Chains A and B, each alone.
Chain A
Amino acid sequence: MIAKRTVCMLILLLGLTSFAFADLAISAKVESSAQDGNKVNIVITPTETSSIYILQTSAESGEWITFRETRDLVFSRNIDNDISTQFKVIALDENRTVVGEALSERITTKAKWFNMNRLNRFIGLLIICGVILYYIGRARKNKKIYLRPVAGLQAFEEAVGRATEMGRSVLFVPGIMDLDQVETISGLIILGHVAKMTARYEAELNVPVSRSLVMESGRETVRASYISEGRPDLFSADMVHYYTDDQFAFAAAVDGIMLREKPAAVFLQGKFYAESLIMAETGNSIGAIQIAGTGSPSQIPFFVTACDYTLIGEEFFAASAYLGDDPKLLGSIKGQDIVKAILMACLGLGVILQTVFSGIYNSDGFYPKIKSLGENPTAVYSIIAEVSSIPLEKVQYIYSNIDDKLGKNIDIQGKNSRFNAEKVIRKLERNGATVDLYDNTKLENKDNKWDFFKNLFAGS
């Protein structure tokens, strides 16, 4: 399925809204968490208190509502978008007497117009689309495009021809999912080409489907194909017929058709799950020529085993361009191939970098582990806040009580290479802190890809 549901993130407009009352025992800060959407982080800097209450104004009535009694000094609160709200922090001592109170400025949550967390994917999408569009444009200008031959696609005509010669039907299954899956769309596109062949050869076409919308769309596709081949007389709406939405009931129905009608050619083109092998093996048992194609990686091995030809991965999505003669479609396939070449080059470069510089520039390997703050904690806190991009108050809270044996790691914001970690360690040590290098790549439970080779070649 498509995966599924994307999450639109709501982002607060107002940034740091700090406030403090010099004559009160506590101070507090409300900050937006930039990419976590409708999230407000509340940081409290207390003095000696027994408990702290956080209150929030109700969006409807404006009254103060207690939503949390806390001893935590940093926590988050999810609130709706476009809500104007205000927080109040009340500190009580052991006798439940109010010893401090702080009031935040009113803030209004506001979503952004672009999710910066997805910027890299947006750029990737632009590059992919740009390359594909460029090659579509090239194809429009009649530049000749060569595509390597795909055995499975070349066998389409052979399969339909065989069915015609044997006087048997052609069975086409466009998967078991609905029109919201790209694989189903791709399956229907291929159905259009197969229908043209059956119209040309006057072979009988049978298309069982498991979704009503696919049935309607499939009928239109087949009808258009028969008309384009000049054989509307051979078309019947019942060629595309519905059985059931249920996975295994549909598999049983298709198996029944195979065993009763013994089609000479079986096309399994679309999105399949566990029923793939049930259908493919039944088709194999009746001796039909089978051509499968799917975008479900887990079903490809089953199809490879049980079918004569299998369209693997992008071959399945490229089938329409191969089977048709539209240069624009061919251009888009060429564009896809160029993007694939770019990705292969990137992967190759990544492998080389990882192999050569592994452990030096590994971005997820090394952390400065602070064991004591030394005599100048303020400077140390500032450095940690700077390298970890955590607010200073939060850093003070997190790193104020460090176990000198266990220590505490400092996350350098996704740049945890040995190089960066050692740089931070040197900086902290200059300010009196005691810091070790924590090597995350040598965790016992962490999968270390080199262990196998080390054992293999070093005999250790």
Chain B
Amino acid sequence: MFWKRTIPSIIVAAVGVIMLLSWFIPHAPFDELEIHATQWYDIIASFAMILGALNLLKLQGRKVVKRQKGWAYSLAAVLAFFMTLTFGFMVKGGFYPNLESLGDNPEAVYAYIAEATDNDLENTISLYGSPGENGEQIILHKAVVSKKAALKAIDELEALGATVSLGELQWGSHVQGQKTYYRWVFYTFFTPLSATMFALLAFFVASASYRAFKIRNAEATVLLVSGILIMLGRVPLGAYLTAWTQKISWLSWLHLPTIQEWLYQYPNAAGARAIMIGIGLGIVGTSLRVILGIEKSFMGGD
């Protein structure tokens, strides 16, 4: 109990008070405490990821082994995990032919490079016309450039008289570099899947709005009217429909963009700020309870 509850409580209280006060003290060592604490946190969180990954594999693996409901999805998760791990740490791709000199038949070399890089001849000449001291990288038009593909291109270029060496991205830079397996996985699988999930939001907003705007009581009616005014006021149609009010001075306030701006800036801002003040106080209160050790349940205490 002492090691699992008391010591962590003391650490939380001490660190909480020091971090709180350090915000008011610009003097060393307090001025850099936040930076150090953030770095410590990042390091601990990075190592903790291993626990998460193991837990994921254990649970999803068990589902596959026991053929539980939806085991195929778990299999996809496990395979994707190992595939990404492999491309992150073991197989990287990212090879490229490095053009050092064009040789005696530059036209043929240009033509080959233009085709291999899916570039037009004019651009190719401007890009590869005078290779520098370190040569010029030829980025082949492939999703991933393996060592084999790069060597094949080198052989073909050398057959045309060019001097070409093999280049490759370093480990680490392959995560963001071009023509690597990791990048291929990221942009071919992960990004479209994430975008799909995000795109679902549009449909969910529509269904949620429909439910919210159903007139059930006075509050819902106010919400509906405000929502319609805001929506109309924010599109050109709203301004167009009420443009006539601008010609009659005492009706000018009926212009929909004016009404929506007022709704947005005043009643909406007032409500949002009230909630923000409550949240701010709640955060202070919760932090204080944690620092004082009154609230310990997140550490497994009562």
Chain A positions near chain B (C-beta within 8 angstroms): 5-6, 8-11, 37, 81-82, 111-115, 118, 121-122, 125, 128-129, 132-133, 136, 178, 180, 182, 185-186, 188-189, 192-193, 211-213, 215-217, 220-221, 223-225, 228, 238, 241-249, 251-252, 256, 260, 274-275, 277-278, 280-281, 295, 297, 300, 302, 304-306, 312-318, 320, 326, 328-329, 332-333, 335-336, 339-340, 343, 447, 449, 452, 455-456, 459-460
Question: B57 to chain A: closest CB distance in Å?
Answer: 10
Q: Which of B195-224 contact A (CB under 8 A)?
A: 197-198, 200-201, 204-205, 207-209, 211-212
Asked if B159 lies at the interface with its beta carbon under 8 angstroms from chain A, I say no
Given A189-B297, A455-B253; A37-B26 close (CB under 8 Å): yes
Contacts of A333 in B (CB 8 A): 285
Shortest distance from the beta carbon of A42 to any chain B beta carbon, whole Å: 22
Cβ-based interface call for B176 (8 A): no
By the criterion CB–CB under 8 Å, are A182 and B208 in contact? no
Given the interface pairs A113-B27, A216-B51, A274-B198, the reply to whether A221 lies near B298 with Cβ below 8 Å is: yes
- Interfacial chain B residues near A275, Cβ < 8 Å: 197
Q: Which of B34, B208, B277 has the most CB of A within 10 A?
A: B208
B253 to A456, Cβ gap below 8 A?
yes
Contact in complex: A332, B298 (CB < 8 Å): no
Q: Is the CB of B282 within 8 A of A316?
A: yes
Q: How far is the CB of A221 from chain B (nearest CB, A)?
A: 6
Which of B25, B205, B211, B295 is in CB contact (< 8 Å) with A320? Answer: B295
Are B51 and A332 within 8 A (Cβ)? no
Instruction: Report the bound CA distance from A242 to B200 in whole Å.
Output: 23
In contact, A314 and B298 (Cβ under 8 angstroms): no
Q: Could you mark each residue 12-54 of chain B with 1 if its beta carbon is under 8 Å from any beta carbon of chain A, else 0?
A: 0000000010111111101110110010010011001111110
> Are A242 and B275 within 8 A (Cβ)?
no
A37-B26, A118-B23, A223-B300 are known contacts. Are A182 and B286 too (CB-CB below 8 A)?
yes
The answer on a CB contact under 8 Å between B297 and A224 is yes
Would you call B252 and A455 a contact (CB within 8 A)? yes
Cβ-defined contact, B275 with A132, below 8 A: no
List the A residue with the shortest CB-CB distance to B200. A278
Given known pairs A212-B48, A213-B48, the reply for A111 and B295 (CB within 8 Å) is no
With A185-B286, A295-B282 already in contact, the answer to whether A242 and B25 are too (CB < 8 A) is no
Cβ contact within 8 Å between B30 and A8:
yes
For B282, the closest partner residue in chain A by CB is A317
A213 cross-chain contacts in B, Cβ below 8 A: 44-45, 48
**Chain A contacts of B198 at CB under 8 A?**
248, 274
> In the complex, A189 Cα to B298 Cα: how many Å?
5
Q: Which residues of A contact B286 (CB under 8 A)?
A: 182, 185-186, 189, 317
Residues of A within 8 A of B83 (CB): none
The size of the chain B interface, using a CB distance under 8 A, is 78
Whole-angstrom CA separation of A318 from B266 in the bound complex: 28
Taken together as a complex, chains A and B put the C-alpha atoms of A332 and B291 apart, in Å, by: 13
Q: Which of B44, B208, B288 contacts A302 (CB 8 A)?
A: B208
Q: Which residues of A contact B209 (CB under 8 A)?
A: 305
Which residues of the partner chain B approach A217 to less than 8 Å between Cβ atoms? 298-300
Taking CB atoms, residues of chain B closer than 8 Å to A115 are 24-26
Q: What's the least CB distance linking B100 to chain A, in Å? A: 41
In contact, B272 and A297 (Cβ under 8 angstroms): yes
A-B contact count (CB 8 A): 228
Residue B287 at the chain A interface, CB threshold 8 Å: yes
Q: Is the CB of B279 within 8 A of A241?
A: no
Q: Mark contacts of B46-79 with chain A using CB atoms, 8 A cut-off: 1 yes-contact digit, 0 otherwise.
A: 0011111101101100000000011001000000
Tell me the smallest distance from the CB of A309 to a CB of chain B, in Å: 15
B297 touching A182 by the CB < 8 A rule?
no
Q: Can you name the residue of chain B whose Cβ is closest to the Cβ of A136?
A: B294
* Shortest Cβ distance from residue B296 to the other chain A in the assembled complex, whole angstroms: 9
CB of B242 within 8 Å of the partner chain: no
Residue of B58, B279, B284, B285 ringed by the most chain A CB atoms within 10 A? B285
- Chain A residues closer than 8 Å to B253, beta-carbon distance: 452, 455-456
B298→A192 contact, CB < 8 A: yes
Question: B25, B34, B295: which contacts A5 (Cβ < 8 A)?
Answer: B34
Interface string of B75-111 (1 = CB under 8 A from A): 0000000000000000000000000000000000000
Contact present for B294 and A326 (CB under 8 Å): yes
Give the nearest-CB partner of B252 in chain A: A455
B277 in contact with A305 (CB, 8 Å)? no
Q: Is B240 an interface residue, CB under 8 A from the partner? A: no
Known: A118-B23, A320-B295. 10 other contacts (CB 8 A): A8-B25, A186-B282, A220-B299, A278-B204, A305-B211, A312-B275, A314-B278, A317-B285, A339-B281, A340-B277
